Structure 1
Amino acid sequence: MYPEHTPHVPVQRAVEVHQPTPYPPAVAVPAPVVPVQPNAVPAVASIVLPDGRVVTGYAINPAQPEPIASKPAVARTAMNVALGGVGFLAVCGGLILLTSFIAALTAFITQLITLAAVIFGGWIAVQLFSAHGHQGGGTTVHIRKAVIKRNKFRG
């Protein structure tokens, strides 16, 4: 066989295992604290460690947990849905009132037009059929009594 067709065999290497070195447990010896007067808190505190070292630093107030926000009795989504329903009902009521108003206005305008037609038509009828209708600037025609004898008109 040729070398390029030989199967690949992984090379075995030695594995090194490192174990962590445990630290010896700390001795529970309370560290001495510099005496402080009861009502006064110093700006800088010093602590003497068991091996004689002195650590100096500022006093840190313990972290206060953030107040837990109280949840409302009703979820915001439920409140939004309820308000949307109230708004929808208000709009529907308004639309019903609007259509009623438009219908009433249409009926009123129709009655006004009918009343105007009756009044105007009556006025025209009175002008046409009254005896006083000739007092205006119209043309007056007088017709004489005519006598017709033997197909001749004498007027």
Structure 2
Amino acid sequence: MVHLERRPAAVEIHHPVPTTVHRPAAPLMPVQPDPASAVQSIVLPNGQVVTGYPLTPAPAPVPAARPAVSRTAVNIALGGIGFGAVCGGLVLLTSFIAALTAFITQLITLAAVIFGGWIAVQIFGATGRHSGGTTVNIRKAVIKRSHFHG
């Protein structure tokens, strides 16, 4: 069995060299250098050379502004206020119903007293005086053979 030994090939590092091109003179404008356009080379621990553009880290996302008070707390507070308003109205409603019931009870009692008094006057007031009606005196009668003898 033949065992071949592999040796790493020689690593060549190429650095880009800017070329100068002679152009006609043009007005120069100040330009800020772009940090991402510079080519960099990195030698790794195993001897590899990586050449490329540097990466700029992405900016961290800005968290959305949160309101000072959460919506849930606002909804609970509004529900409590509404419930308190309803309870106050229910207390007033039950008080009104109780007062109306007492008033109707008093009216029925008053009507019964007045009507009962009028009936009592009609029954007991007629015995003491004559009101021009017919008076019938019943005497001892003898009934013989379907004839009335008085």
Q: What TM-score comes out, normalization by structure 1 length?
A: 0.44
Higher relative CO (Cα under 8 Å, sequence separation at least 6) belongs to 2
Q: What TM-score comes out, normalization by structure 2 length?
A: 0.45
